[in-house]
């Protein structure tokens, strides 16, 4: 079997979840990287802090593409002095209109004390209003679990995100239980 490494359907590797609750933002990601039917890596880190540690971010999609978008996001955040919404809108406009950038296959989940945003190369800047957002292969599973936990438990944002990701790992074959998590308290 010949593997076409350009076929984005082969690259499935991520679940990223963000939970805002009681003046805390937690963003968690699994560590699995999958190529076709093989697990290539178990302990990848897909979460990072941006702009003076005031913004949490995670990516889904091709790692090299995500790193390119991260570089652009960091520049936009500097340009707009940490204004997450403005930087996100400007980045997404550039991402959508630039001939090279629009071919990048990645999504970003970004959050700070004011916003929880999902960005994509197709032009979306989605502001999540439920306090829970997720992207990646197991994103729907993790989001469902987190929404139930937020409604029916007193868990912290961090514990909710980690538990939701653990549940997603039990369901989604492209998600594992090696979890990295960052939190912001505000």
CA separation for the pair 186, 183 (Å, rounded) = 10
In sequence order, the 6+-apart residues with CB closer than 8 A to the CB of 158 are: 19, 24, 26, 28, 181, 183
Cα–Cα nearest to 66, from 42, 88, 46: 46
- The question of whether 14 is a catalytic residue gets the answer yes
Query: Pick the catalytic residue: 14, 15, 92, 175?
Result: 14
CA separation for the pair 146, 128 (Å, rounded) = 14
CA separation for the pair 104, 102 (Å, rounded) = 5
CA separation for the pair 45, 58 (Å, rounded) = 9
Return the active site residues. Answer: 14
């Amino acid at each position: 079997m010949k593997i076409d490494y350009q076929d984005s359907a082969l690259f499935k590797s991520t679940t990223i979840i963000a939970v805002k609750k009681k003046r805390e933002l937690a963003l968690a990601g699994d560590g699995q990287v999958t190529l076709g039917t093989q697990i290539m890596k178990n302990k990848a880190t897909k979460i990072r802090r941006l702009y003076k540690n005031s913004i949490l971010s995670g990516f889904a999609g091709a790692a090299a593409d995500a790193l390119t978008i991260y570089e652009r996001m960091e520049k936009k955040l500097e340009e707009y002095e940490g204004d997450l919404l403005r930087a996100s809108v400007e980045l997404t406009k550039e991402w959508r209109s630039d001939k090279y950038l629009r071919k990048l296959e990645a999504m970003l989940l970004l959050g700070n004390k004011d916003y929880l945003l999902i960005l994509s190369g197709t032009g979306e800047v989605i502001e999540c209003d439920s306090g829970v957002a997720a992207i990646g292969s197991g994103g729907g599973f993790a989001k469902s679990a987190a929404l139930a936990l937020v409604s029916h438990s007193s868990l912290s944002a961090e514990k909710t995100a980690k538990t939701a990701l653990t549940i997603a790992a039990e369901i989604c074959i492209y998600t594992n239980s090696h979890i990295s998590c960052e939190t912001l308290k505000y």
